[in-house]
Amino acid sequence: MASTKVVISGVTGKMGLEAVAAISKETDVELVGGTCRQDRGPTLSTPYSTVIPLSTDLDALLEQTQPQVMLDLTNAAVAMDAAAKAAARKINIIMGASGFSDDQLKQLDALANDNGIGIIVAPNFALGAIVLKKLAEQAAPYFDYVDIIESHHEAKIDSPSGFALNLMRSLGENKEFTRNQPEKENLANTRGGEYNGISVHSIRMPGKIAHHEVIFGAAGQTVSIRHDTLDRSCYMPGLLRCIRDVVSRPGLVIGLENVLGL
């Protein structure tokens, strides 16, 4: 059986390099190229002494390598342009970028259907984060108050995180939570962002990778559900599962839980 050929958009970022190492260990998935924003030369050395083409021109790289899958690990703005280029070549797409809008998700749905390809949007590749989401969804009907607190490293370009947005929408799509409004706010925005009564707070500082906590409140009690990413290696099993699934799963799939069937 031939291996699945993969190109990584954003291959020299932290997640990209982690993905390079993970894919290099597999026998049924082959990394055939990568793109980066700044020119770093024509090739990238990978583990096990292999070398792949490296380019700032995604179109040219896709033409050269003819992959079955493009894995995008950039940001939402860059990823949408990359998705259009890949879809035009009938290449399946996995998107790990953060913070897609509803309009962008509709565009991705159209790209998948119009081109007969699979597109997976995974705000979080970590299995533990998906378990957090499912537990929070089960708890939500029993509480009227909920806050979401997410923490990431200081270089993350958006807030809240794409996974926090995904979590927020899943909890608030069928319910309006209660959110108190203080009579006096001594410092603006200290109650965080708000969606259907859900308060969302973002922390950005060195030492963090990715951390999400959901706190439910009721009279005399609280319930907290938390997931901590301690190392980016935790993303790799979910990422590899997406690569293997997307080639046989046409249409748009949002969330790793829908890939795993949770």
- Active site residues per annotation: 152, 156
In single-letter form, the type of residue at position 24 comes to S
CA distance 260 to 242: 9
CA-closest candidate to residue 19, choices 210, 212, 243, 206 = 243
The token duo for 14 is 């932290």
Q: Is residue 118 within 8 Å of residue 112, measured between CB atoms?
A: yes
CA distance 201 to 170: 17
Q: Is residue 165 within 8 Å of residue 198, measured between CB atoms?
A: no
The token duo for 230 is 């301690």
CA distance 172 to 195: 7
Q: Is residue 125 within 8 Å of residue 158, measured between CB atoms?
A: no
Phi/psi at 93 (5° precision): -135, 135
CA-closest candidate to residue 147, choices 202, 206, 210 = 202
